[in-house]
Amino acid sequence: MNKSFSDYAIKPVSFTKATIEDRFWQRRIETAINVTIPYDFEKCEETGRIDNFAKAGGMMTGAHEGIFYNDSDVFKVVEGAAYALQSGHNETLAAYLDELIGKIAAAQEDDGYLYTARTIDPQNPPEACGPERWSNLAVNHELYNVGHLYEAAVAHFEATGERKLLDVAIRNADLIDSVFGSDKLRNVPGHQEIETGLARLFRATGDERYLRLAKFFLDERGRANGRELFGSYCQDHRLVTGQREAVGHAVRAAYMYAAMTDIAALTGDAEYAEAVEGLWENVVGKKLSLTGGIGARHEGEAFGDDYELPSLTAYNETCAAQANILWNQRMFLLSGNAKYVDVLERTLYNGFLSGVGLDGRSFFYVNPLACDGEYQFNRESAMTRQPWYQTACCPTNVVRLLPSLSGYIYAQGQRELYVNLYIAGEGRFRIGNADVRIQQVTNYPWEGDIALHVDVSKPVAFNLKLRVPGYTRNQPLPSDLYRYAKTSNEVAHLAMDGMVIPYALQDGYISLEREWRGASEILLRLPLAPRRVIAHSAVAELRDKVALERGPLVYALESADNEADLLELALPDDGEIQAEHQADLLGGITNLRGEAWDKECDPVEFTAIPYYAWGYRGDGRMTVWLDRH
């Protein structure tokens, strides 16, 4: 590997440099910080996840409790808690983390090994762990767990400046680097995650060994160097640079694709860049749910075949949606193309957001596009969000994203400032020797007007790039997987300091390149008329079906609002659909009202709500896709 390292040409603006002050996301983030993080820690205590560290460290006695990958849940909540500390000082949370990190450090063995399922009783570990270290990597999550440790450790170090957890991560990574390599043990983790963690550890420390090790784990996939390949379920069926179809476990795959994008950026490896683009085109062109969810099959929590996109039996794990967001963010940073942010936004508002309840204490593991009131789509549940799961990856994953969401709004190139998400609040930047501030005022996604107040401390030249979502250009996705039933002539409008400005789009952005002086006001108006969506004819289950969208939101019909049999309703191609905001319903939503046909071909009024808001009002039916009349 070339020893001259680079990085993404575009950098995300840290979430600490941007604030969120809107009606839609602010409450969600506050709930994540004040409710979900302490709730997740409480559940980790109740289920023995935290005691496992104390037991491994000799601080208490007893057997290992729970599943062999439960360490990772604790690390994920620590990462989210670190982001919360950066958002605002919290003495109680900081003290709790100090005590918890002490237990994690105590659980680490002298040579850096950290895996409580083995350390507590090394002579009798759970069967899945394998009899010895590294002996059952296909299953045991031994490397997966510590990947989340590395991400948590870097986040905590950045939040506090304290090295205790970072030093634990470094000692562990040094051990793994001494064991694995082209002239050492040649094997890979069955569940990817250590690769993105190592890339993050490389950035934090500058130690090139961690980047080389991340690339080694990726390069070794598909190579039978003295071992049996784990197969397509683990994306270990061929070299990663030769993969072009998304297969196997969706979370593992998307974590791997994110890591591959990191390698493409950090090493300049063109083969990696070509591979992730090909994989992205396969997902977005043939395997992406309308909600941005990935993973069609319950069996293996896996991608299906091309164009296999069921509704009732769709899996679409919440963790997979989050992984899809992380991957698309990296793809944007690698390229500067807004099409990746279009997918990110769709997934964020729909497939991800549905997975965490408004109360911050209930979660969907699975996010189908239909519910008949009988099919048991969710682990340990029927049709309502659950307070916890035995496998708790989803409840613990959401707190990694929500507290750091403001870091997805803006990005910077050398002389470019990207506005990717339209969320009310403020961003502060340094461009050249000038301070730049952008204040967004908007009620997006309910309304399409976005006012951006730009203030500069001194004259400075830069290119302000405003993303124009694909839905404003008659393109639900940057592929032909979905299309609108009718073309709209409405387009985005732009004005600056009261004057309408004509614009041309490049890679999905309006470019305002000029020398900025003093204060400027920009008004971007995005059309948000309700739209009917139809799927590619190759999607067998969705032939002659239609769905509804408005802006970035996918809509669903739910029994709580509709008396008719939802799974037998037909929506005519014509007929007006009205948007109506209800401030007192489900935290404040804009619903859609119109007329459909029941199974007797009689007209019936219907109400649709944003997909993310379904499942709060009893075990009724729900559907995103209706018959097309």
pLDDT in tens, 377-428: 544 444 689 999 999 999 999 999 999 999 999 999 999 999 999 999 999 9
Is residue 618 predicted with pLDDT exceeding 90? no
Confidence at 87, pLDDT banded by 50, 70, 90: confident
Confidence at 373, pLDDT banded by 50, 70, 90: confident
What share of the chain has pLDDT > 70, as a percent?
A: 98
Q: Average pLDDT in the 156-181 region?
A: 97
**Inter-CA distances, 43 with 39, 96, 391, 396, 490, Å:** 6, 14, 12, 10, 49
43 in Cβ contact with 388 (< 8 Å): yes
Is residue 603 predicted with pLDDT exceeding 50? yes
Report residue 414 CA to chain centroid gap.
26
Counts of helices then strands in the chain (DSSP H, E): 15, 24
Our CA angle for 16, 362, 588, nearest 5°, is 70
Q: Average pLDDT in the 3-24 region?
A: 89
Confidence at 617, pLDDT banded by 50, 70, 90: very high
What is the pLDDT of the chain when averaged over all its residues? Answer: 96
Within 10 A of 61 (CB to CB), how many other CB atoms are there? Answer: 8
Is residue 485 predicted with pLDDT exceeding 90? yes
Q: Average pLDDT in the 516-531 region?
A: 98
Q: Write out pLDDT tens, residues 235-248.
A: 999 999 999 999 99
Q: Average pLDDT in the 268-287 region?
A: 98
Return the SS3 of 5: coil
Return the SS3 of 314: coil
Q: Write out pLDDT tens, residues 198-255.
A: 999 999 999 999 999 999 999 999 999 999 999 999 999 999 999 999 999 999 999 9
- Supply the pLDDT for residue 89: 79
Burial class of residue 158 in the structure, from the number of CB atoms within 10 Å of its CB (0-12 exposed, 13-18 middle, 19+ buried): middle
Q: Which residues in 587-616 are b (16+ Cβ under 10 Å) and which e?
A: eebbbbebebbbeeeeeeebbbbbbbbbbb
**For residue 356, which phi and psi values (nearest 5 degrees)?**
-125, 130
Is residue 151 predicted with pLDDT exceeding 70? yes
Both ends of the chain: CA-CA distance in Å?
57
DSSP secondary structure, 491-534, as one string: --EEEETTEE----EETTEEEEEEEE-SEEEEEEE-----EEEE
Q: Average pLDDT in the 291-305 region?
A: 97
Q: Name the residue type at position 244.
A: R
Is residue 2 predicted with pLDDT exceeding 60? no
- Supply the pLDDT for residue 381: 45
397 in Cβ contact with 37 (< 8 Å): no
Which residues share a beta bridge with 547? 533
Is residue 104 predicted with pLDDT exceeding 60? yes
Confidence at 1, pLDDT banded by 50, 70, 90: very low
**How many angstroms separate the CA atoms of 363 and 23, rounded?**
22
- Contacts for 455 with CB less than 8 Å, ≥ 6 apart: 436, 437, 438, 439, 518, 519, 520
From 9, 27, 143, 32, select the one nearest 79 (Cα to Cα): 32
Confidence at 4, pLDDT banded by 50, 70, 90: low
For the record, the structure tokens of 4 come out as: 């001259």
What share of the chain has pLDDT > 90, as a percent?
A: 95
Task: Give the ranges where 309-419 is alpha helix by DSSP (H).
Answer: 318-335, 338-346, 393-401
Q: Average pLDDT in the 48-69 region?
A: 98
280 in Cβ contact with 331 (< 8 Å): yes
- Supply the pLDDT for residue 117: 98
Is residue 10 predicted with pLDDT exceeding 50? yes
Which residues share a beta bridge with 505? 510
Return the SS3 of 548: strand
- Supply the pLDDT for residue 383: 66
pTM score, two decimals? 0.97
**How many angstroms separate the CA atoms of 6 and 494, rounded?**
36
Confidence at 165, pLDDT banded by 50, 70, 90: very high
**How many angstroms separate the CA atoms of 166 and 170, rounded?**
6
Return the DSSP state at 13.
P
